[in-house]
């Protein structure tokens, strides 16, 4: 076997070392250039290797937890209904909001949850709401303390 770093023939067993993020099988001379990595132990005959831990289950729409409300479950049906009421085809709607027709098709089928930018465009063009805002969020927003932010100061100076 050859050293993966210098190319010399390895006498004896190779050393597995991590050199700048790469794990290589090297000779004893090159092994001092990196940090030795533990060799994987072969499984004993008759014993099964321990199963890898299962990936943690993620809930489906955790990205939307940070939003004011979640996109309603029937967003595709609402979009299609509003589009048909305006006598628009999917292509007409796509042209209106300056997006691709295939995106509209996927959203209406429910295969794709619209991103915030697309959702806002759809809401404006169709005159509908796609967010499901709970009563708790509405009341908590109304009673909040108003404070000046850095963005407000920048807007004031521009005016």
Classify residue 62 by its DSSP letter.
Answer: G
Comma-separated ranges of CATH 1.10.260.40 domains in the chain: 62-132
The domain 62-132 having CATH identifier 3.40.50.300: the answer here is no
Please give the Cα distance from 38 to 125 (Å, whole number).
60
- β-partners of residue 26 are 15
pTM above 0.85, yes or no: no
Cβ contacts of residue 19 below 8 Å, gap of 6+? 5, 26, 33, 34
Between the two ends of the chain, the Cα-to-Cα distance in Å is 73
Please give the Cα distance from 156 to 150 (Å, whole number).
10
* 9-57 residue pLDDT tens: 888 888 888 888 888 888 888 888 888 887 766 666 666 656 656 655 5
78: left (phi over 0), alpha (psi -120 to 50) or beta: alpha
């Amino acid at each position: 076997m050859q050293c993966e770093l210098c190319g010399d023939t390895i006498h004896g067993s190779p050393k597995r070392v991590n050199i700048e993020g790469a794990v290589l099988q090297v000779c004893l001379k090159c092994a001092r250039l990196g940090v030795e990595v533990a060799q994987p132990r072969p499984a004993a005959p008759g014993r099964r290797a321990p199963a890898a831990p299962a990936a943690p289950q993620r809930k489906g729409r955790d990205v939307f937890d940070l939003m004011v409300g979640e996109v309603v479950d029937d967003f595709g049906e609402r979009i299609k209904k509003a589009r048909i009421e305006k006598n628009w085809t999917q292509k007409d709607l796509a042209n209106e909001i300056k997006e691709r027709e295939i995106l509209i098709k996927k959203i209406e089928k429910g295969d794709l949850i619209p991103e915030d930018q697309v959702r806002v465009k759809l809401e404006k063009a169709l005159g509908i709401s796609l967010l499901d805002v709970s009563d708790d969020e509405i009341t908590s927003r109304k009673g909040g303390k108003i404070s000046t932010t850095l963005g407000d100061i920048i807007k004031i100076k521009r005016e």
